[in-house]
Structure 1
Amino acid sequence: MRALVSSAAALAMLAGSLGTAAPVGANEPVLHHVRYTVTANAPIWSHIYYRDTEPALFSDYSHNPYMFSPRADAEVGPGQPWVLEAHLADPNLWAMVAVQSGEAPNFPVPGYSCELAVDGVVVKTDSGPKGALCSIRNW
């Protein structure tokens, strides 16, 4: 009799849990706000590569990395930053911005800086005379 009562209680609990629906979006990843900022010490035309989407599979990225790292061409300089905001599920793996001069090699050295912020916190900065790379992951 005791086994019958335990089985009935277990069935009642199982039926109750089956009738409870999961919240909408429960399986969707939490997206983090990512903000990329690129500046230069002097006005200069620049090539900026960034990541604002993530591949479903890493093999998708490895087969075509430029599909997930588009290039923006922009003039940056003092008081003229390039800023892009994105939302990524795994910024530790995918957040990245890199900048280099779009001018001829003999153009004066611009002195670039980049900043990578995730959810309002600056997590990476870099600077260099001819380019800069901000990424949490070591590439």
Structure 2
Amino acid sequence: MKFPTTLLRFVAVTVLAASALAGASVPATAQAPLHNVKYTVFAEGPAFLKIFYRDIDPPNWADYSHNPYVYTPKVEADVGPDQQWNLDVQLANPEDWAMVVAQGEPGLTPNVHCILAVDGVVVKTDQRPKGALCSIRNW
């Protein structure tokens, strides 16, 4: 069966126009879905800790390495066996950027623990006498 040339052209133009409209409705910069990242820090004994964490995804490695402290806030917290520091953040790429570091006071060894969970699943834990580091990425 042979179709008239004008019908084939009409179908081709219609398909192209529909494809263009469908593509136009998709944003040019689609955002990656965000993951819930939960940081937990505590110690086996009373401790005053400096805690550094990542709460936003840096735009790229170059920007991060130029000034990491722009992307790594610090808090100070009293923690202990019954007193945790917890923070929930939303990251697009936790495998690259999720990180929490806790540092104790010099000379004290309260046995600091950290826990890093992504979307409700614990992906990293650490425990050390003076401080702890939880990160999925090997820094």
**TM-score (normalizing by structure 1):** 0.89
For 1:61 and 1:26, how far apart are their aligned partners in 2?
21
One-letter amino acid matched to 1:17: S
User: Greater CA deviation, 54-63 or 42-51?
Assistant: 54-63
Pair 25,74 (structure 1): closer, same or farther in 2 beyond 3 Å: farther
CA offset digits 1:76-119 (Å, max 9, x no partner):
10110000100000000000001111x2x233x10011000000
Which sections of structure 1, spanning at least 5 residues, go unmatched?
Answer: none
CA offset digits 1:42-62 (Å, max 9, x no partner):
111000110001111221101
Residue 37 (structure 1) aligned to one of 40, 46, 52: 40
1:17 has 2:19 as partner? yes
One-letter amino acid matched to 1:6: L
Instruction: Note the C-alpha offset of 1:2.
Output: 4.8
Instruction: Note the C-alpha offset of 1:129.
Output: 0.5
For 2:66 and 2:77, how far apart are their aligned partners in 1?
27
Instruction: Note the C-alpha offset of 1:7.
Output: 2.6
1:50 has 2:53 as partner? yes
CA offset digits 1:15-56 (Å, max 9, x no partner):
223334536798121000000000100111000110001111
Instruction: Note the C-alpha offset of 1:8.
Output: 1.9
Which sections of structure 2, spanning at least 5 residues, go unmatched?
Answer: none
For 1:3 and 1:133, how far apart are their aligned partners in 2?
69
For 1:51 and 1:73, how far apart are their aligned partners in 2?
15
Pair 120,77 (structure 1): closer, same or farther in 2 beyond 3 Å: same
Aligned length: 136
One-letter amino acid matched to 2:77: A
